[in-house]
Structure 1
């Protein structure tokens, strides 16, 4: 900024000095030119060096005292926000979470990338929102609290000292589903051969376990109930059998079995009928509350006439929770049901509680007119519709 006082004479020039941090000597920047402005671009500095600057004002009476020295400035290439990282990819998922990973930006903007920001877009919406308020320190993120049977997109951006960079291209829409893996038992080397113990000692059999969902583990020994004879400690990652004060009757072969707790799904939630025409209806339903240990990935739709006992298949492939059933006969009563399916098979059906009559809505009532009117009431009269939609009229709404 200009001096508070020009000393009663117009300022004719500014003298700018520089000094390296490693030196005690000030060097004049503008030896050969005059500076009228209060800004100056200084060139010829050494990259990687720190500099201080000071300014002296000049009028016809002479030079002022130099200003206080500036803070040290580090010379380097100009920096920017980072380039976008790669598209986030899924590395794991559960029913309610998706784990993502991406690679660092190809260009860090000239300053170290110190973290990342992740945004989420929910299926059917247009507004991206921050997945977490805090900046992530790594290129890994677990999006938790997601709804099953909904899809999500993700995008990531790098952060450096200049701010948040450009976001990556969005990921494809991803649905949180439980990944399945076959149970596996990892026996330590000392359990792969005969275990020898002195009578009165404690037997400890420890086995690492993997598998998704967490497998059901069972310890067995012929002729002995290990639940009462010993102590069994089981978690999602290991199982351990402990038998104290062993004796000769504890000798023999011990077996451990692991199996996935798998089953077919339970019935869907209530099946509802809407959008009637004279030859079709739309049915909707809710996702089963019990999925059998694996995601429900398909639904089978069936129909039957109320006068018949057996169902006929409408479709064996439906990925959503609604379906239009066409090719129905007008004025016929129908039942409909939905069967869920996962990788283990077809689950229990859910049927509509009452039969549905296939018909169109009635046409408009005719010749509506006022018969009488009072202070707070009126009496109306009208003629029946010309067409009842293929079903007997049950009433009128007003």
Structure 2
């Protein structure tokens, strides 16, 4: 920096200047005295008193200024899923001129060039908006004074544009015992732009104000063990990604650690069984109970002994006696006994031997009635409930003997669990589904059975909720380097409401963030454009109804590539019709067009003594020959040819070889005539 002080009589050059920042050297002064130290920000504005040759004079400084150094304390103040807040402090030295504004720039981590975000920032902070969710970016800021742009201050590491996820979705209690609780939950509505890495489950006992972590899992369901019987617990769940934790999502109601108990129930269909001697007899007895009952069998009041002929097979829902090659000794009274912590239940089955001779025709009238089911008229229509509400189906039953009752949904028997309650009396049965979710939709079938027959009645239910995933697969067709066509089917579960539209998104497999393709697609097919050649993509589709956005259907990864390739190189390049200023280059078509028709040819030439190839034709040539003109006399040239199709230029052909007789020497016509005349005179 050169500072010149203008004097009324003399021209004074100061050789030394002390500032707060550093020491500057100066040249060309005989004697001088500094009156005081100057601060950088007042250097241009203050007048200083200088002593020279024994006299003091007041002088006005004029400064030769420099561009500014880099701003200091550059930092990322805040990061969200679509913006970054930058902050910095002015450079310690402004280069001798006031900082007028700042330039803020960004670049994606996989790119080399920075792009300008703003070139007119007048504050020491700036919010960079509209960033790619989940993308990695570098940022820098440069100070500007009247002499130009200063040095940049840049982030050292790439900044990921994401934030902590939203809380998990709805939490439900799947099962409860005296020592365990099983919880399930839905994914957050948004992952914050970064993949969910896990979930933290916390619990708090009643009367306490301290939450403790009881599980850390990656799945959407977990079982918390080690609970104290009879204790009441509250639970909450937090989603976690690499940016941090979401807000906690609490379970709607507290849970008491206790077993859901059901007294043992024996569903014995018949009390008497008959079989001929020598045949096999099978007695299958369904049962229920919670905890799972212990099963024992007795015969005529004594424990049943299993032999090679007599076997007992017991599962969680039934117990079966199998007697092979039955004899008279197998006749008797067989009793099944079920025992759990709630009580004991027994029932007996009599086994008769082969009958004696008949007594003649006897008219027998059993005092039995077949099962009957009566429900309200509203249950005969479609039963509709909202997600989170209670689904309840009541039915009056009758029959003689009392029929065995069972409930099934979509062909599978329903077991009483935390959300499902089944209660039956002699005259009625009820099923209750708490906190209904979309998969609770379906057909509920009540079945009654006794010796007089079987009766079933179906009740169709629909739970209004967000849609399920669209019907797959999500097909990707018509793929090129820039676009493709997507096809899918409507969701099998529409959540009880009409699908209004679909949200279509894409992402590169190398990234975690999804990019919107269509926000309001009405059809089940669409075109995805603006793909980058060679990049691998995954697409997903989500249906939307009036209750929200449904689950996603994803495609398999596909690479954006054209179905054709560049052509093969042209062959047999030759040179004909050589004159002093021009020649004609000929060639043959490539052996393969790469699956796309040849759109033209590009010809290049090179001088023998040069390294650089130069294009001969400005526009593509469609013929198999071209005339090269404006050549320099006496120069030697070689040529090569490229074929072009929709995929691009082919590899170059073999060039015309100077060593193989295709060497071209341009000579003027006068030179040739001169040589001919010389040969004539010599002869």
Q: Shorter chain as normaliser: what TM range?
A: 0.3 to 0.5
Q: What TM-score, normalized by structure 2, do the two folds share? A: 0.27
Greater RCO (CA < 8 Å, at least 6 residues apart): 1
Computing the radius of gyration over CA atoms, which structure comes out larger, 1 or 2? 2
Q: What TM-score, normalized by structure 1, do the two folds share? A: 0.42
